[in-house]
Amino acid sequence: MPRHPAWILPLLVAAGCGAPVSSADRLPVSQDKRLEQVPDEVIVKYRAPEGMRAEATMFPEDIAPTRKYDLLPETTQLDATSFDSRNDTVLVKTSRGEAARVAAAYAARPEVEWAIPNARIQAPVPVMPGQQPGTGIRSTIRSNDPLVAQQWYLDRINAQAAWATSTGTGVTVAVLDTGIDGGHPDLSGAVEKGGDFISKSDDTADKHGHGTHVAGIVGARKDNGVGIVGVAPGCNLLAVRVLGESGGSGVFSVARGIKAAADYAKRTKKRVVINLSLGSRMPVDPVDFMAGWYATRQGALLVAAAGNEGGPVGVPAKHRYFMAIGATDTRDARASFSNFGSQLALSAPGVDIVSTTPTYPVTMTQRGVAQNFAALQGTSMATPIVSGVAALVWSKHPDWSPAQVRDALTKGAKNLGDRNQFGAGLVDAAAAVAP
């Protein structure tokens, strides 16, 4: 019998799409990404040599390889990355229709920790033609940005009071998504290229639209007379492209993006929040779990969407290295689409969230979402609100560890009741920054 751990087997089955939006939710939900198998690809995780596992002060690039692993003859290496020894995690190509058999064959080898067929992350975004941004309650935020009155969620998280203390300066939020339109006038000067793990180039431009919307929620510039205000208008944004033009990729690309953002934190000595507005209902995601383990040891804070199916918290959010974020509506109730459960860390507004969209035609605009600015909803929108607040906290307390930032976020949250529904409660920027 092949040595598949029990938690690996469900990964061979594709997950379903999110639940439909209720009639009470007027805007389209930016659905979480759906995991499916990538045809004829397998991820193989080799065991680290004895005594060579990376810890808090040891990094894979510093470890000389002590042994070369042979690939099965029917497979070809496509890519590799390192988590606890040099090139310990490898993506291989198989013959057509052979991924499950090859994964089992690799898993049976004593030097292999686990092996699974690569899984695809999709970003289906239902849209409504003719949609107009900002149809909810009005904001009282003081700014010369013309759409700020439509950002009701900034009042709800006490952003104005927090900005008197911190705007996120000196902190980088890595947006692992479809890329970012770095030429957007409301993101001007904020965006740095962090890597493209789709075409393996330095192209981090957003050809889908989802990533630019997430980026604006985090760090759109304040008082520039353009558009909206981000939750952390002084932070920097690192564009890490892990999802393609169609909104899809393999989980191996996501894991590589997490590692790249973590390595950026180590290399630059900057405080880095990693935003993952993506997820799945699958029971476990081992490669992203490993990437989360690695990133935490490089000093990064990982914030991930709980999911939009109205069911249990998805992966990777439910894994212990990630903060799982749920979505609330304008009444501070759990949004009907938002996932919930004991792994939920926090909640944030996720309905009628106005933000930036690419200034040029992309996949989302072809489906009816406006260029430049638009409103969407989903835990994908709630997550960058929390990432922005984390940037505010870390900017004020640059000597804090990720665990201390996380603790400030949860302790400062407004209690909304059942922790399975809301986690610690609604994120409160002013209370989180106050300590």
How far is 380 from 276, CA to CA, in rounded Å? 8
The one-character DSSP state at 426 is B
Beta bridge pairs of residue 280: 315
CB of 179 within 8 A of CB of 207?
A: yes
C-beta contacts of 50-59 below 8 A and 24+ residues apart: 52/84, 52/85, 53/84, 53/85, 54/83, 54/84, 54/85, 54/294, 54/297, 55/297, 56/297, 59/266, 59/298
How far is 289 from 295, CA to CA, in rounded Å? 10
CB of 114 within 8 A of CB of 107?
A: yes
Residue length of the chain: 435
Cβ-based neighbours of 364, under 8 Å, separated by 6 or more: 125, 127, 208, 209, 210, 357, 358
Beta bridge pairs of residue 328: 334, 349
Q: Going by DSSP bridges, is the β-strand pair 373-376/353-356 parallel, antiparallel, or unpaired? A: antiparallel
Cα 202 versus chain centre, distance: 20
Beta bridge pairs of residue 433: none
* Catalytic entry in 380, 387, 395, 428: 380
Is 210 among the catalytic positions? yes
Beta bridge pairs of residue 29: 377
Handedness of CA 333, 338, 343, 344 (dihedral sign): negative
How far is 256 from 258, CA to CA, in rounded Å? 5
How far is 218 from 187, CA to CA, in rounded Å? 10
Is 177 among the catalytic positions? yes
Q: Going by DSSP bridges, is the β-strand pair 171-177/271-276 parallel, antiparallel, or unpaired? A: parallel
* Catalytic entry in 184, 208, 210, 319: 210
Is 397 among the catalytic positions? no
CB of 104 within 8 A of CB of 95?
A: no
Q: State the alpha helices, DSSP H only, in 170-285.
A: 210-219, 251-268
How far is 286 from 103, CA to CA, in rounded Å? 14
Q: Is 77 left (phi over 0), alpha (psi -120 to 50) or beta?
A: beta
Nearest to 211 by CA among 255, 178, 249: 178
Structural tokens at position 280: 């799945």
* Catalytic entry in 177, 196, 206, 288: 177
β strands within 157-206, DSSP E: 171-177, 191-196
Q: Count other C-beta atoms under 10 Å from residue 203's C-beta.
A: 14
Task: Name the residues annotated as catalytic.
Answer: 177, 210, 380
